[in-house]
Amino acid sequence: MFNVNANGANIPALGFGTFRMPDDDVARVLPEALKLGFRHVDTAQIYKNEAAVGEVLATSGIAREEIFLTTKVWGDRVGHDAFIASVDESLQKLKTDYVDLLLLHWPQSEMPLADRMGALNELVKAGKVKHIGVSNFSVALLDEAVKLSDAPIATNQVEYHPYLDQTKVLEAVRRHGSSLTAYYLMADGKVPKDEVLKDIGAKHGKTAAQVVLRWAIQQPEVIALSKTATISRLPENYDVFDFELSAEEMQAVHALAKPDGRIVNPGHLAPQWDD
């Protein structure tokens, strides 16, 4: 495992994501992920599994400071008091007095961005949050968030996989000393079936999924979230540090990008994306 340093946040390059994981799956799979070596855990208020994540971490036997824990504030937390209260509730559920990284989950909210960034900064000053970031932000919105914040932005968590070109977002996070955290790397099940990726994997004795996880973390300032509810798949997701893709192989993966490659695009939440 290696880390990405983004504006002072030392973030493990490979994280375990809990999107769409009910409590039972978290209780069953997350302990095994931690035993394997995962130390970066990603959840969110809207996932409704923070309490299950907190229980696993509290009973794992792993020191709190060894875990990099991320959660996200949902857009309906409107008003300063409601925003802060929601984070206090998250901390209670997570059985911790701080999170390593707190993100705004989507840019759209009735609460102005300036007010939300102000609340994030207040939480940093209170010691409840070590680092702050955003999720699903366009370049223009990321630039705006940076301007509105005293604390630096550690990451922009966005959809990223071989079929979606995120060059502009990558350039923006690098310009700000930040990072890109990639979710949906398996592109809703397309990656494991892709012949190009399977062929690259065969040369390394790896699967297409491992190729894409490696492709992500091999890019500077990119962090990859992996996710599985199948315990037998965990070692596959973690075993991506013992091989390297060549420049030609990296380019072959990048070349899979398509103009209509975006999968996650909820109209009531999404910004106007970068072309």
183 is catalytic: no
Residues 6 or more apart from 62 whose CB is under 8 A from it?
Answer: 34, 39
Q: Which residue, among 147, 41, 161, 138, has the nearest Cα to 94 in the 3D structure?
A: 41
Q: Are 71 and 102 in contact (CB under 8 A)?
A: yes
Task: Given the residues 47, 163, 183, 238, select the one marked as catalytic.
Answer: 47
Which amino acid type is present at position 39? R
Residue entry with tokens 């490696």: 214
Q: How far apart are CA 176 and CA 189, in angstroms?
A: 32
Q: How far apart are CA 100 and CA 131, in angstroms?
A: 6
Q: How far apart are CA 101 and CA 85, in angstroms?
A: 17
Catalytic residues: 47
